[in-house]
Structure 1
Amino acid sequence: MSVQGTVLVVDDEVRSQEALRRVLNQEFEVLCAGGAADAEKLLEGEIVHVIICDQRMPEESGVSFLKRVREMWPDPVRMIISGYSDSQDIIAGLNEAGIYQYITKPWHPDQLLDIVKGAIQLYRLQKETETAGVDIKASPGHIKNVLSVKRGAAKRLYDFDRIVHSPDSPMHGVIELGKRAAEYDISVLITGESGTGKELLARAIHYGSARANKAFVVENCGALPDELLESELFGCKKGAFTGAYQDRIGLFEVAGGGTIFLDEIGETSPAFQVKLLRVLQESEIRPLGAQRVRKVDVRVVAATNRDLEAEVEAGRFRRDLYYRLAAFPVHMPSLRERPMDIPLIAENVLSAVKISFNRHNLRFSPSILQEFARYHWPGNVRELQNEIQRMVVLADQDELRYAPLLGRRNGPRPSQPPNGKLNGSATLKDKVEHLEKQVIVSYLERYDGNISRVASELGLSRVGLRNKLSRYDLRKNAKGDEIS
């Protein structure tokens, strides 16, 4: 598969433009400009991956132009092409304009193609490092090595065999379906309640597929209004809407060759659904404010806690989009439907928490595991994880015998609560609420006050979280229309 991308050639000589276009057209979309002014007009309306600029032009030097490009459009990989080997030009290009490559004339077609392929790969790698949390400014080889290590670790972490379940669990059938889906390049729709592990299954499908060595990117479709969601997924040009301060490459391009996970797909508007349907039908996107469409090669895995078939019948979700997304549907059972898995999951979570909190001697009492199995867990696995973390924070001894959240919901406990106190005479209720407030504050800080994300991570409804924000006087810490 060829490396897809857009190259802007800036040269005042038409013959040089045509020569470069003939060679590069074999692999890329090529735009040509006769000078800096024309090039800037193109950059205002197009998303460009690589710029190849002649050094000696009548109006302005290539280094001077690319220095300005670096300030206004920092994403494209910048290259100078010249028939003169002026060392001062080369030094200025590297230091002032951030030049990736200095190409000398005459150039060889195959060599030029290889250089541009490398530049476009660098562009995509740099974008992927942003989504993968790799904050580095290094050579393409270093970036590839870092991402390769991260992907290898992710592939081991998200292997199907690491999904915790007992032999008689309904998850056994789910995992078998996931393995089948991983073998084929087909869209997958994962349904199930919040907190059941839909993203975990999506990652297992990706890392078990032929796309495992490419990016896996995630977008929560319920957390953003249409315009911002389109910008995140499809990209945008600077000035395309209020707040679009720079060009943005969309996640569909970042995930090129890999998988994009669209969580909460059932929360999207009909207008956005139309645009997403076109992307799935045509395998192309149009960034907001851009003049051209761009081809993409991405596998889509979507997830929802809604009954999309009912949403289709009610007219709130497009039938044609549903069938596109649900080419291979998989349903995640709730935790109450798999009580045989609860002790295994709890022990697995505790093992991780003990390491994270440096409490290596902790263990569950038999009674608390039995009560875990009896509880209905409306927040599913995510709620169980959060509850175990709270237990560890409140634990005054190595044996965990008291679950604060279960105690508050289910009434008095037969076992004794921990003896720790706040401010000398604080009651257990005071202590638990103090801890709950701290947890909510930490998640608000982590997700920059995003109500939807915090509620999802804590296994709460938005209404439930809003009530807690009011109770603990935390409304000022949150962002979003839903808290007004």
Structure 2
Amino acid sequence: MTSGRPTVLLVDDETRVLESLTRALDEDFQVITAESAEQGLDVLAAEFVQVVLCDQRMPGMSGVEFLSRVREGWPEVVRIIISGYSDPDDMLEAINRAGIYQFIHKPWRPENLLLTVQRAAEMQQLQSENELLNLELRAGVSELRRQVAGKRERVQRRELSDDRILRCADSPMAGVCQLADKVAQYDIPVLITGETGTGKELMARGIHYKSPRRDKPFVVENCAALPEELLESELFGHKRGAFTGAYQDRVGLFQQADGGTIFLDEIGETSPGFQVKLLRVLQEGEVRPVGGASPIRTDVRVLSATNRNLWCTVQQGSFREDLYYRLSAFALHMPPLRDRREDIPLLANHLLQEIAATMGEWVEGFTDEAMACLVRYHWPGNVRQLQNEIMRMVALGDGERLGVELLSDVVQVALETPPRDEAPILNGAAVPGERAMTLQGATGRGTLKERLTELEVDMIGQALRRHRWNKSRVAEELGLSRVGLRNKLKRYGLDGEGTS
């Protein structure tokens, strides 16, 4: 197959699953499907594939066995496995035998699946480019040093550029960036908060490359991606034989980042047991590999991020207060895109040029009507959603300017939502469900139970608007547990998107 898009091979014995996966990926990738591991191997022998995505439970050859064969025959292909199980032994076997890039747990969400495969394809492309560079660098040690120094300089120049986080002079993001520039110079922990897609990792990279540690490693770990046992091994390392599947010693990310910075994303998702171990590392400045007899000194600056209200989780008892203070010596909050609408034209035009160049297209810009719609939309997925929307528009467009007709149904439906007095707006999005209309207050008609229900919906709706859909704060104000609030939102059809 010939296509400017990366090629993804989907392997699953269920036709409906293959169809769902294809729908989620076919706009961005050239998709090939196979209904068995054997068919998948035949495809790999005949086609150039960048990413393989397969199910773990298949008749005949399992997903791990299939990906092990892929690793042997096509080691450059990035391997991803989908599983409804999260047994640590199975995961370790997949990591050691098949060298998988990522686990995707069932049930998966289309946007998360697409993001994972996009990153896998980008990594495969970078690996290919790196191999070509390695061939060129065999000229000698001096040439190698020169090119490595040049790469480091280019990376630092890119990360130090103000264009990395685009904003207007009067944008709420401008003040955040000024604070980040100040704190970057001091070797203290920083906690970055904000909704998904607001650029927390980008901010962390900017802090690292503006700090005295800029010449040392910057290491990233998503704490929500692995169970506690694997996360501890990933960060602190392990000794051979420490657990089933530990066939050799592993150097943890804290050791790899020695002298540099480690970025712990989704820190609020960690378990209490892991929090105790991380607190000790921060207090003592040393890590103890799993199964190791003695600690190892490390010099690492810790940056962390979460999309939760971490202080609320402390009050609820699910996050340690002493660890919270250790991580949040300095806190930065990334405003959501709906609160910095003045930045949207600048961001949209910049993303358009990057995306068009990547896709090999030439686009002059947006029509005035399309740009007005982009500015009006509430962007619950923030910059990441804006990027994907523009990517879709470029793929569908065939003119010099992208028009409003190219916007996705999600955006167009939201823009056509009636005003606040007809459908109340919570966190920038229309309240879903027919019960939304009762938020105007109790009607004064019906049985006592019906009128009490309307009053309860009205109170919850007002609290949601007041706290911008922050469910932790709403639950605290109404005297409910988070589980109790979640059940009521589901019962009354108010379970929309928002900040946890």
Please tell me the TM-score bracket, short chain as reference: 0.5 to 0.7
Q: Is the 8 A contact 1:238 1:244 kept in 2?
A: yes
Distance 1:393 1:254 in 2: 40
Distance 1:302 1:141 in 2: 37
What is the CA distance between 1:308 and its match in structure 2? 0.5
Name the counterpart of 1:411: 413
Length, aligned pairs only:
285
Q: Is the 8 A contact 1:159 1:207 kept in 2?
A: yes
Q: How does 1:166-185 map to 2 (within 5 A)?
A: 166-185=168-187
Name the counterpart of 2:99: none
Instruction: Mark the CA change 1:403 to 1:259 in structure 2 (over 3 Å): closer, same or farther.
Output: farther
Which amino acid is the alignment partner of residue 154 of structure 1?
A: V
Q: How does 1:247-258 map to 2 (within 5 A)?
A: 247-258=249-260
Q: Is the 8 A contact 2:353 2:363 kept in 1?
A: no
Distance 1:256 1:379 in 2: 34
SS of equivalent to 1:196: coil
Name the counterpart of 2:157: 156
Find out whether 1:285 has 2:292 as its counterpart.
no
Name the counterpart of 1:384: 386
Name the counterpart of 2:350: 348
Which amino acid is the alignment partner of residue 295 of structure 1?
A: R
Q: How does 1:228-267 map to 2 (within 5 A)?
A: 228-267=230-269
What is the CA distance between 1:197 and its match in structure 2? 0.2
Instruction: Mark the CA change 1:213 to 1:342 in structure 2 (over 3 Å): closer, same or farther.
Output: same
Q: Is the 8 A contact 1:391 1:402 kept in 2?
A: no
Distance 1:335 1:412 in 2: 16
Distance 1:143 1:202 in 2: 29
Distance 2:335 2:160 in 1: 19
Deviation string, structure 1 residues 303-337 (Cα, Å, up to 9, x no partner): 00000000000000000000000001000000001
Distance 1:369 1:223 in 2: 36
Distance 1:189 1:304 in 2: 8
Q: What's the % identity of the aligned pairs?
A: 54
What is the CA distance between 1:239 and its match in structure 2? 2.2
Which amino acid is the alignment partner of residue 377 of structure 2?
A: Y
Name the counterpart of 1:467: none
Which amino acid is the alignment partner of residue 152 of structure 2?
A: R
What is the CA distance between 1:290 and its match in structure 2? 1.4
Name the counterpart of 1:205: 207
Instruction: Mark the CA change 1:147 to 1:256 in structure 2 (over 3 Å): closer, same or farther.
Output: farther
TM-score by length of 2: 0.54
Indicate the RMSD between aligned Cα atoms, in angstroms.
2.4
Name the counterpart of 1:337: 339
What is the CA distance between 1:187 and its match in structure 2? 0.4
Name the counterpart of 2:324: 322
Distance 1:155 1:290 in 2: 36
Distance 2:152 2:256 in 1: 15
Deviating more after overlay: 295-304 vs 245-254: 245-254
Query: Gapped runs of 5+ residues in structure 2?
Result: 1-123, 417-500
TM-score by length of 1: 0.56
Query: Larger radius of gyration, structure 1 or 2?
Result: 1
SS of equivalent to 2:358: helix
Instruction: Mark the CA change 1:196 to 1:375 in structure 2 (over 3 Å): closer, same or farther.
Output: same
Q: Is the 8 A contact 1:284 1:295 kept in 2?
A: yes
What is the CA distance between 1:243 and its match in structure 2? 2.5
Q: How does 1:27-426 map to 2 (within 5 A)?
A: 145-159=146-160, 161-162=162-163, 163-402=165-404, 406-411=408-413
Q: Is the 8 A contact 2:240 2:247 kept in 1?
A: yes
Q: Is the 8 A contact 2:373 2:415 kept in 1?
A: no
SS of equivalent to 1:371: helix
Distance 1:338 1:291 in 2: 51
Deviation string, structure 1 residues 338-366 (Cα, Å, up to 9, x no partner): 00000100011011111111112342111
Q: Is the 8 A contact 1:219 1:263 kept in 2?
A: yes
What is the CA distance between 1:193 and its match in structure 2? 0.3
Instruction: Mark the CA change 1:146 to 1:320 in structure 2 (over 3 Å): closer, same or farther.
Output: farther
What is the CA distance between 1:413 and its match in structure 2? 8.5
Instruction: Mark the CA change 1:141 to 1:286 in structure 2 (over 3 Å): closer, same or farther.
Output: farther
SS of equivalent to 1:158: helix
Deviating more after overlay: 144-153 vs 315-324: 144-153
What is the CA distance between 1:263 and its match in structure 2? 0.4
What is the CA distance between 1:398 and its match in structure 2? 2.2
Instruction: Mark the CA change 1:142 to 1:239 in structure 2 (over 3 Å): closer, same or farther.
Output: farther
Q: Is the 8 A contact 2:373 2:404 kept in 1?
A: no
Q: How does 1:418-437 map to 2 (within 5 A)?
A: none
Which amino acid is the alignment partner of residue 394 of structure 1?
A: L
Query: Gapped runs of 5+ residues in structure 1?
Result: 1-129, 415-484
Distance 1:205 1:177 in 2: 10
